[in-house]
Structure 1
Amino acid sequence: MPLHPTALISPDAQVGTGNQIGPGVVIEDDVVIGNGNRFEPFVVIKRGSRIGDHNVFHDHAVIGGSPQITNFQDVKSHVRIGNGGVFREYVTVHRASRENESTEIGDGVLIMVCGHVAHDCRLGDAVIIANNAAIAGEVEIESKAFISYGVGVHQFTRVGSLAMIGAITKITQNVLPYFITDGTPARVRGINRVGLERAGHTAEEILSLKEAYRILLGSRLSLKQAIVELRTIKTFCTDHLADFLSSGCKRGFHRKVENLPESELAD
């Protein structure tokens, strides 16, 4: 289906080569689309959208809708999507709320059925958002984070790289990279060992995060003291964890913990 005759494409849209555009697809003006994308039936690409190459948009996905905020002025803003992403049925991604700014979606992102990404969010590469998860405005999600079914993420929060958030979790503060956060109220449940191993992190790096867990969540150190201790470990993961905690933590982070089993903390 290179171009179905029922598709509606604005003459002001820029569409690259090798795109498959299915029945009832709508592509508005001021849209730029790269090469080799697939748009399944009834996808809507709203004005201001900027889409890279080799993405797949499933039935009824809507990209670039206006922000859901009461005082929104209809300014020119954007959604920018990288390459190789998958946007399943009924996914919604909204454009930025401020003029000439963008909601940013990285490469290789998967958003499952009915997932929602609100205005001004920034998603890194290879983020996965499962069915019915809702990401509020101005949220930053670092690369390879996994957001499970039905999670709600509060506006202005940050989710760290390779974090895993369990199903139906209510996120109101920042989520630590490399750890599993789950439950309501949200608690740190342990190290995301499976995700770390799949991402190619070494046994040494995973072991360093066990020490980071003790320092950050199992001691009485202040946050500033804990960051200093984290920097003495000197692995990629602990350095990134320290950097994450040093910047943009005005909402704090989910610090309540479940006691890890000895096997999880053993050297």
Structure 2
Amino acid sequence: MTQIHSTALVDPQADLHESVAVGPYSIVGPHVRIGAGTTIGPHCVIEGHTTLGRDNRIFQFASIGAAPQDKKYRGEATRLEIGDGNTIREFVTINTGTVQDTGLTRLGDDNWIMAYVHIAHDCVLGSHIIMANSATLGGHVHLDDWVFVGGLTGIHQFVRVGAHAMTGFQTRLSQDLPPFVTAAGNPAEAQSINAEGLKRRGFSAERITLIKQMHRLLYRKGLTLEAARQQIDALRGELAEADADIAMMQDFLIAASRGIVR
């Protein structure tokens, strides 16, 4: 049976798998759906049109699915979707979307969200992301897979961070950060590539070397962005396993709407 503490308030219309656990004094609203194996700690509020997948762990005092902090919000039935295997620590706040965007805030799978993190309306997070303590995302931010967001980092509205990128402690990020790049500072400046993270994920030495070449073309050769893109494209075919990395970099640079950290 569902393990609901006697002091928890779970709306009868909420849809909880029988293996879900809800801790003392937590509140679960009527439009919430929670998948198998997920645990909700004490003093949490799960509200709004919120769906949680399997095997998530929500720690005490988290606020999940509250209305967006947007003055244009008029009570529309916008949504929050959280995938499987996520860890959401103490005092994390994650808001639903707005009708000015897709109406959806979304997190993928296997994300590690540390204490005091804020994920605003309409943010879209991929999978395997780490957000360190007190990192904050403005509305409409997109984080691709395997991103690491350093503690106390603030990311401006509508910014996108590419896969495997990383921000250092107390970074202020107001432009798009390309894949693989590490940035730090206020304002953010590109430092290097996230080589250690790539090694941990099984990237070969040759593949990392080619990613370093892309970084040099973007940041070390004094090229215009268009010239850098052309030379990055010319790297295709040098290493078959890296062609997908080149394509991902090119797609990101073409789509960057706020300019890139450079």
TM-score under structure 1 length normalisation:
0.92
Counting only pairs closer than 5 Å after superposition, residues 1-267 of structure 1 correspond to structure 2 as 2-98=3-99, 101-234=103-236, 235=242, 236-247=244-255, 249-255=256-262
Instruction: Write out per-residue CA displacement over residues 52-86 of structure 1, whole angstroms, 9 at most, x where no aligned residue.
Output: 00000000101001111112111001100000000
SS in 2 for 1:93: strand
What whole-Å deviation, never above 9, does each CA across 1:191-247 have from its counterpart, x for those lacking one?
111100111111111101121122111223322222222122122322211111111
Could you say what secondary structure the match of 1:96 adopts? Answer: coil
Identity %: 33
Q: Is the 8 A contact 2:48 2:67 kept in 1?
A: no
Deviation track 1:156-213 (CA, whole Å, cap 9, x = no partner) reads: 0001111110000100101121111011121111111110011111111110112112
Distance 2:104 2:70 in 1: 16
Contact 1:102/1:120 (CA < 8 Å) preserved in 2?
yes
Structure 1 Cα separation of the partners of residues 18 and 67 of structure 2: 28
Which amino acid in structure 2 is aligned with residue 83 of structure 1? Answer: D
CA distance in 2 between counterparts of 1:194 and 1:24 reads: 42
Q: Mind listing any 5+ residue stretches in structure 2 that lack a counterpart?
A: 237-241
2:60 match: secondary structure: coil
CA contact (8 A) 1:230 1:239 kept: no
Paired with 2:216 and 2:93, the residues of 1 have a C-alpha distance of 39
State the Cα RMSD in Å. 1.3
- Consecutive unaligned residues of structure 1, counting only runs of 5 or more, are 256-267
Q: Distance in 1 between matches of 2:96 and 2:48?
A: 9
SS of the residue aligned with 1:185? coil
The number of equivalent residue pairs is: 254
What is the CA–CA distance in structure 1 between the aligned matches of 2:90 and 2:26, rounded to whole Å? 13
CA distance in 1, matches of 2:212, 2:90: 39
Residue of structure 2 in register with 1:260 after alignment: none
Q: What letter corresponds to residue 171 of structure 1 in structure 2?
A: L
